[in-house]
Structure 1
Amino acid sequence: MAGRLRQPTGRYAGRSAQERQAERRRRFLDAGLQMFGGSPGYRATTVSALSEAAGLSTRQFYEEFRGLEDVLAALHLQVNDWAEEAALAALAEVEGQPVVERATAAFRAYAANVTGDPRRIRITFVEIIGVSPRLEEQRLARRSRWVELICAEAAAAVERGEAERRDYRVAAAAFIGSVNGLLHDWRAGWVDATLDQVVDELVRLLLGILRPPQRPVR
């Protein structure tokens, strides 16, 4: 497809063209979340099947997206946005608290958001992997955003005297890699643990990064 079709204009049934377009896009994304995050998965989904699930036509699909990869890209960003909003809201609720309480609250809010719907786990940690260079670049960009959030919390903890002054970027990247890998493996059934156990272990890893080093006892 060379490009998207021309967008509709004017009002219909009391709604503007922009409102109708937003509604169609939402329906396609809802169908994508169901099919990519559930069955049959991104690679086995067709445009016609997605359009049928959304209750719309393939013509309307190409008015909104260039292809299924655009839908997956939008869903990946949306799931990350939801999780980031949850983490930031949790941090706002523990404003002024020590780094241990802040890190625990933020990560548990993140984990609850992204794992509360199994489809979100599959979109974020399974379906996005290896699709294309474009989506790999997007995935790494969002990972970098999470790294920056952890580094910002570490910097604030340093200023409060709660953490060692050092460059936390490598440690934060290692932690994000652990989150991605462990949740991927848990979702695939390769980790014999409950989700609560997985989250508890990841919280320990995060606190190990942010806590100040313990001085040896003489």
Structure 2
Amino acid sequence: MARCFPFSSSVGQSTPTVSSKPSPTWEIKEEAPGPSATWIPPSSPPRTQGQKRKHSDWIPTGTQDRWAVKGMFGLKMQLKRRRMSPVRPEDHKAFNRLLEDPVIQNFLAWDRKLQVSDKYLLAMVIAYFARAGRPSWQYKRLHFFLALYLANDMEEDRQGPKHDMFAFLYGQDHTQRVKFQWLRAQLFRAIGWKAWVTREECEEIQAYQPEHWVWKRDRSLLQ
């Protein structure tokens, strides 16, 4: 949230001089601070390849803003509100810890064609962790798959590869799928129904650890 500080001024003993020049005026322009919270897909996809955009116990968090000078136009200064990423270092820490889970490692190794776990979908997992706002130590294997499943709901048309996550989580026990879908709905609710993650946000998340091996999971590099 932007905080305004008044200009400091010293009061002299002499009589102030009245100037005939007009005082500068300030014009504030607000821009959308973050992703859309509606179910209507925005016009620009966050990915290089075209996919569809659809639209507990978890604690949603808000998005912070800051102000920056956009430009000077004569005596007018125009300001714009810039979005500050809500992703915390502990969200990256939780994600990196979960990547050491042998079940998650086997799942990522299985998805050699990156159908359900390319670098953008994995960046969305971190974004959802940040929006849910849990302490990093609370995230478990199930939370990883819930977030990745929801990311695929937003980005992908193919249902088969996404449903293969159940085999890694529950094996042949199909009775757990209903509970998984209920928990997925709880995650959706916990992030304030804001499952849309822009390409810019994904790239900001990847830039936190640009040399991380997981960001090499790029579909455009597949032969």
Point out which structure has higher relative CO (alpha carbons under 8 A, 6+ apart): 2
**Greater fraction of residues in strand:** 2
Q: TM-score band (shorter)?
A: under 0.3
Computing the radius of gyration over CA atoms, which structure comes out larger, 1 or 2?
A: 2
